[in-house]
Chain A
Amino acid sequence: MSDLEAYRAKAHAWLESMSPKYGREARRGMTVEQELALGREFQALKYEAGYAGINWPKEIGGQGLGHLEKITYDSEEMQFGMPTVFFGISLGMPVPILIRFGQGANGEHNEWVKERVVKALRGEEIWCQLFSEPAGGSDLGGLRTRAEPDGNGWKMNGQKVWTSWAQYCDYGVIVVRTDPTVEKHKGLTYFWVDMKAKGVDVRPIKLAGGDSHVNEVFFDDVRMEDSQRMSPVGGGFGVALTTLMIERYIATDSGGFGPHLDVFTDLVKGLEINGKPALADGRVRSAIARNHAMRGGLDSITKRAFQMMQAGMEPGPEGSLQKLVAVRSRQKLSELAMDLQGNLSLHFDPHAYVKEDWSASWLNAPTGRIAGGSDEVLLNTIAERVLGLPQDHRPDKGVAFNQIPA
């Protein structure tokens, strides 16, 4: 058994021991608040067991291991449906950036940062990422929240949106406009912000599927010290891109974070079409086969990326296909599963688990095609970065931000 397989086996055994209390089954019917409380408990145990901050330096509270161990653990954890969703963004982007660039409000660095990191790893504190705005999602550089010099610090006003878990967060990282008279990407600056500060107002947004994990966040004359600044003035866009690049190698799911294909075939086995087994229907067989071939390809891409990392090589750009291909296929397969059940599919449980329930999967699928890079942005990225196709016509290029027609 290789070291990595031994690591996987040990992680699996530990997760199995945690599962009766924290796993998906144990949490059926719980409210979000109950799940969060349980999630914080689990996160603390995970820290004690050495599975938090797996690939972060030991000096800062991590385990000092590599990407491979991190992905290995994550793919095991995913199978148990542990209540870690609240901490995914926090530990995925804002906290790693804090480790690189952050300091306390009074300029203190190491101890303050380390305290934040350990509290975040233990689930005691949560960080959010305040990037998207009503005027800037895919076009992040179009954001309008502004910070103006205020004595020796800054004063911030504006609005962010789609901020995951902001209602439970203690801190956030934020990109704001500090100079509207220069080109859009050049007038941005990166800060951290205290989410409990005066003038911060978090309002949950109820999504189509019924849950409210995203928020609008309003800033009304919010005071920030200059030591909260994490980029040079005007250098915020670069740090934002760095933030988005941190999680390059993540555990993927060829099911698009919806039900796996065997859930579909199990459903089909119990159904008939025109009095004959649904599994004998060519349309159904074709859908199963096409999905299997597609998901099999994505799984093989993942395995090869993993093998490349093990061999000390950089995985190929084909990994960027995962989210694009998997989520939209999940959306269609979910529709098909509902069609197959006919009127029986009209029953809807707003608390059902998206990896088990086709209606929940269907209703929540659009979020997966939009959040974290929309399908269209991903296609542009592949075209421009991988295949070398030219950028779109960009009327905002070389124009001062305040001169761009709104």
Chain B
Amino acid sequence: MSILYDEGQQAIATESRRVLDARVGKDRLLKLLEQVGEYDQPFWDTAVEQGWTALAIPEEHGGLGLGLVELGLVALATGAATAGAPFLTVGYGAAQALIGSGQADLQAAWLPKLAAGEALATVAFAEGNAPLPPLPTTIFAGGKLSGAKEGVTGGLKADFAIVWAAHEGKPALVLAELKNAARTAVESYDNSRLYADIAFAGAPATLLAEGDSALALARDVLARMAVVTAHEQVGGAEALLYIARDYATTRRAFGQFIGAFQSIKHRISEMYGLVEIARANCIHAAASEGKDNFLIAAADARISATDAYDTNSRDCVQIHGGIGVTWEQGLHLHMRRARSLAVELGNLYYWEDLLVEQLTGVAA
């Protein structure tokens, strides 16, 4: 299905854009690029204050009981601002895993804290280069978790993680508090994502789901996060479209605005096309939350949004020429974010294969 945003949703879109315009600045984001282990605290304080952490958490657990459509609109605004905190997405994923597990005590323990911004959470599904390996090498046995997860988003500061592990030869989802794990910071091209390599050596953990239901839940959680991220990617891609447009209507060469040259204007029109196709997929996917076709809709959104953000980063820089590659001008904030988001939520190989599996019934 697809929808038109209602008044409340439009208000979320405008308000989140307005708040971020006022509070997120390029200078602070540039500094964060060179600091390992730090993220944009003022942004996160804003997110908590604005209730964005509570948006998609049920009311009975202290949340606002809204859904992917609303969270997507906030993500659209954070993407435009390259706002530097990963927890809007991965914290949401962890909350959704708890909700999907049906375990009331864990929900009661953690969801109110996540809603209030008092706890930070992430998901650790990937191993090596596989976003969701069929049978992970991280092992859950006798209430203990052992194994390694590379490049966990937000892993440096999260209080707990939802971990994709193997339990008695079957896949499982478990909750593990990260104070009991060894975390090594990953020095990255996008450091405010707080990437960590995490080693579990017999860390206490709680089983959330196993076997087929664990796989179904993990896919659903990953798809939900992918839809949030797709909005973020569209927000970034759209920002780049207008940065390119504005530059092309002010920069002159050969006696005219460079936007008059078809080599430039056609490139910018193509950027527009990528943004609008991905946006339409995002709206459709967010409105398909909980429906049979959700994985397909999420994959469409994820694939088109990744393509849009990568392409628009590349082309926006190209349209700027030399100034586009300077540190100070800051387009590389988008270049970096386009890549980190492209990788974090499962690369295109994963989503293309999943989509084709859903469409044809044939796994890769």
Distance of A135 Cα from B284 Cα, bound (Å): 44
For residue A386, CB closer than 8 A to chain B, the reply is yes
Distance of A357 Cα from B355 Cα, bound (Å): 25
Chain B residues lying within 8 Å of A301, measured Cβ to Cβ, are 276-277, 280
Distance of A324 Cα from B266 Cα, bound (Å): 12
Chain A proximity mask over B174-186: 1 for CB below 8 Å, otherwise 0: 0000000000000
Number of interface residues of A (CB under 8 A): 44
Distance of A300 Cα from B359 Cα, bound (Å): 18
Chain A residues lying within 8 Å of B360, measured Cβ to Cβ, are 265, 269, 279, 288
For residue B245, CB closer than 8 A to chain A, the reply is yes
Which residue from chain B places its CB closest to the CB of A279 in the assembled complex?
A: B362
Distance of A300 Cα from B297 Cα, bound (Å): 10
- A297-B300, A300-B284, A303-B2 given as contacts; is B272 within 8 A of A387 (CB)? yes
Is there an interface contact between B352 and A286, defined as CB atoms closer than 8 Å? yes
Distance of A265 Cα from B241 Cα, bound (Å): 34
Is there an interface contact between A300 and B269, defined as CB atoms closer than 8 Å? no
Chain B proximity mask over A262-284: 1 for CB below 8 Å, otherwise 0: 00010001000000010110100
Chain B residues lying within 8 Å of A277, measured Cβ to Cβ, are 362
Is there an interface contact between B277 and A393, defined as CB atoms closer than 8 Å? no
For residue A321, CB closer than 8 A to chain B, the reply is yes
For residue B4, CB closer than 8 A to chain A, the reply is yes
Chain B residues lying within 8 Å of A290, measured Cβ to Cβ, are 303, 307, 352
Tell me which residues from 259 to 278 in chain B have a Cβ below 8 Å from any Cβ of chain A.
259-262, 264-266, 268-270, 272-273, 276-278
- A279-B362, A285-B364, A379-B269 given as contacts; is B304 within 8 A of A297 (CB)? yes
Which residue from chain B places its CB closest to the CB of A301 in the assembled complex?
A: B280
For residue B283, CB closer than 8 A to chain A, the reply is yes
For residue B3, CB closer than 8 A to chain A, the reply is yes
- A318-B280, A376-B262 given as contacts; is B356 within 8 A of A289 (CB)? yes
Is there an interface contact between B349 and A282, defined as CB atoms closer than 8 Å? yes
Is there an interface contact between A389 and B268, defined as CB atoms closer than 8 Å? yes
Residue from A269, A325, A383 in contact with B277 in the complex, judged by beta carbons closer than 8 Å: A325
Which residue from chain B places its CB closest to the CB of A277 in the assembled complex?
A: B362
Is there an interface contact between A308 and B4, defined as CB atoms closer than 8 Å? yes
CB distance from A219 to the nearest CB of B (A): 34
For residue A294, CB closer than 8 A to chain B, the reply is yes
Is there an interface contact between B277 and A382, defined as CB atoms closer than 8 Å? no
Is there an interface contact between A325 and B273, defined as CB atoms closer than 8 Å? yes
For residue A311, CB closer than 8 A to chain B, the reply is yes
Distance of A199 Cα from B70 Cα, bound (Å): 65
CB distance from B288 to the nearest CB of A (A): 10
Which residue from chain B places its CB closest to the CB of A265 in the assembled complex?
A: B360
Is there an interface contact between A387 and B269, defined as CB atoms closer than 8 Å? yes
CB distance from B267 to the nearest CB of A (A): 9
Chain A residues lying within 8 Å of B297, measured Cβ to Cβ, are 296
Residue from A265, A286, A382 in contact with B272 in the complex, judged by beta carbons closer than 8 Å: A382
CB distance from B356 to the nearest CB of A (A): 4
Is there an interface contact between B272 and A386, defined as CB atoms closer than 8 Å? yes
For residue A195, CB closer than 8 A to chain B, the reply is no
Is there an interface contact between B284 and A324, defined as CB atoms closer than 8 Å? no
Distance of A289 Cα from B307 Cα, bound (Å): 12
Is there an interface contact between A279 and B356, defined as CB atoms closer than 8 Å? yes
Residue from B257, B276, B303 in contact with A293 in the complex, judged by beta carbons closer than 8 Å: B303
Which residue from chain A places its CB closest to the CB of B297 in the assembled complex?
A: A296
Residue from B3, B304, B364 in contact with A282 in the complex, judged by beta carbons closer than 8 Å: B364
- A285-B364, A390-B256, A390-B260 given as contacts; is B352 within 8 A of A304 (CB)? no
For residue B69, CB closer than 8 A to chain A, the reply is no
For residue A307, CB closer than 8 A to chain B, the reply is yes
Is there an interface contact between B299 and A289, defined as CB atoms closer than 8 Å? yes
Chain A residues lying within 8 Å of B303, measured Cβ to Cβ, are 289-290, 293
Chain B residues lying within 8 Å of A389, measured Cβ to Cβ, are 245, 248-249, 257, 259-260, 264-265, 268
Is there an interface contact between A324 and B273, defined as CB atoms closer than 8 Å? yes
Distance of A277 Cα from B360 Cα, bound (Å): 13
Distance of A304 Cα from B283 Cα, bound (Å): 10
Chain A residues lying within 8 Å of B273, measured Cβ to Cβ, are 321, 324-325, 382
For residue A29, CB closer than 8 A to chain B, the reply is no
Is there an interface contact between B281 and A285, defined as CB atoms closer than 8 Å? no
Distance of A391 Cα from B280 Cα, bound (Å): 28
10 A/B residue pairs, CB under 8 Å, sorted by A: A286-B348, A286-B352, A290-B303, A293-B281, A293-B300, A293-B303, A296-B297, A304-B283, A383-B265, A390-B249
A-B pairs with the 4 shortest C-beta distances? A297-B277, A289-B352, A300-B280, A383-B265
Give the interface of A toward B (CB within 8 A).
Answer: 265, 269, 277, 279-280, 282, 285-286, 288-290, 292-294, 296-298, 300-301, 303-304, 307-308, 311, 313, 316, 318, 321, 324-325, 376, 379-380, 382-384, 386-393
Other A-B contacts than A292-B296, A311-B4, 11 sampled, CB-CB below 8 A, are A280-B364, A289-B352, A289-B355, A292-B359, A293-B300, A298-B277, A301-B276, A321-B276, A387-B241, A387-B272, A392-B261
